[in-house]
Amino acid sequence: MIQPTQPKRVSPFEAIRHEDDEGEYWSARELAVVLEYSGWQRFITVIERAMTACETSGQEVSDHFNETVKMITTGKGAQRKLVDYHLSRYACYLVVQNGDPAKRLVALGQAYFAVQTRRAEILLDISDKSEAQQRILLRDQIAAEHGLLTEVVTDAGIVTQEDFAEYYDHLWLGLYDKRYRELQRHRQLKKGETPLAYMGPEESVLKLLHVQQTRAKTERDKPQTPQEANAIPLQVGRVFRRALEEIGATMPEDLPKAEHIDIVQRAEIRRLKDEERQRKIEEEDRLGLWAQLPAPDEENHE
């Protein structure tokens, strides 16, 4: 018997996304409804706080908050102005960050736009680099974040080798819905091979964000026991997976394996050495060291 196809779940935030010739935007009035604000005047204070945060971050407010005004007809036939804002994705992120976290959709929006916005920022920062350079850079950042996370969870009583093994198993489980060994089998890796070595740029960004957000939440919540610390990467991972599901993205465990990072790094080192060698040759050539010597008879006639 053929099972009916499950309808694809659409994020309430993606459902109100608009596009025009200048790109994507969200209507502040529509966002207010989604976030369950009962009145526009109450929501305006949230927008103002978000604008202040935007300015403080060094961004141009007008690049992210575009005020629009249109005339509407009231029930009595009178005309009045309706003020709205076209918000960028970054502006939405700031709005929900400054909203009331007690509201269910505000809490979801904080997670959703935090994941999507930060992911876009990282990808933009490395967009001018080759895929090999992106992977090496992200691998080093992940390693650094793991080191910082290790220091943070020590305060929760995670000190022995067994404690850390269990904790990092939860870290994998949170983002991948699989423990380390399960993910190894899923990826068809050999014993001793780590999934980190086969991550492409997209997966590396997700892994980096998950570790960063896990560390940030651990620092905020200050868990007192290993059990409390282990629960945090699971909570953060569920938020990430929910955000990915709602935009129809591939789950991290199903992203394709990239070439082993060691092979990529060796190739990149060879490329850099070749470039340096070529640069030196060209530099010496400008000094005339590689210019052709005059023929002997030309020397005699000088």
Does residue 121 share a domain with residue 134?
no
pLDDT in tens, 144-175: 888 889 889 998 999 898 999 999 999 999 99
pLDDT at position 1 is 43
The SS3 assignment for 65 reads strand
Has residue 255 got a pLDDT over 90?
A: yes
Tell me phi and psi for residue 15, to 5 degrees.
-65, -25
Structure tokens at 299: 């020397």
Cβ(228)–Cβ(214) below 8 Å: no
Classify residue 165: in a domain, yes or no: yes
| 285 pLDDT tier (thresholds 50, 70, 90) | low
Does residue 197 share a domain with residue 113?
no
Classify residue 18: in a domain, yes or no: yes
Residue where a domain terminates, one of 99, 125, 151: 125
Going by their DSSP bridges, the two strands 65-73 and 79-87 should be labelled as antiparallel
Residue where a domain terminates, one of 76, 108, 125: 125
Does residue 138 share a domain with residue 18?
no
Task: Count how many domains the chain has.
Answer: 2
Q: Which residue has the tokens 């470039």?
A: 275
In this predicted model, which residue has the larger pLDDT, 274 or 228? 228
Does residue 143 share a domain with residue 109?
no
Does residue 247 share a domain with residue 140?
yes
Classify residue 43: in a domain, yes or no: yes
Classify residue 299: in a domain, yes or no: no
The average confidence (pLDDT) of the chain is 83
The one-character DSSP state at 7 is P
Does residue 151 share a domain with residue 226?
yes
Stretch 195-220: mean pLDDT: 90
pTM of the model: 0.61
The SS3 assignment for 84 reads strand
pLDDT at position 7 is 46
Does residue 43 share a domain with residue 169?
no
What does the radius of gyration of the chain's CA atoms come to, in whole angstroms? 27
pLDDT in tens, 77-89: 677 788 999 999 8
Does residue 94 share a domain with residue 192?
no
Residue of 82, 99, 109, 123 lying closest to 209 (CA atoms) = 123
pLDDT at position 286 is 59
Sequence-separated (6 or more) residues with CB below 8 Å from residue 244? 115, 206, 250, 251, 252
pLDDT at position 80 is 79
Straight-line distance from the first to the last Cα atom of the chain, in angstroms, rounded to the nearest whole number: 97
**Helices then strands, each counted (H, E), the chain:** 13, 4
Classify residue 172: in a domain, yes or no: yes
Does residue 42 share a domain with residue 181?
no
Q: Which domain holds residue 272?
A: 129-277
| 188 pLDDT tier (thresholds 50, 70, 90) | very high
Residue where a domain terminates, one of 63, 93, 125: 125
Classify residue 65: in a domain, yes or no: yes
Does residue 260 share a domain with residue 224?
yes
Does residue 166 share a domain with residue 94?
no
Structure tokens at 257: 């394996």
Which amino acid, 106?
V
Classify residue 55: in a domain, yes or no: yes
Structure tokens at 80: 């009045």
Does residue 176 share a domain with residue 77?
no
Cβ(189)–Cβ(172) below 8 Å: no
Residue of 112, 134, 140, 149 lying closest to 245 (CA atoms) = 112
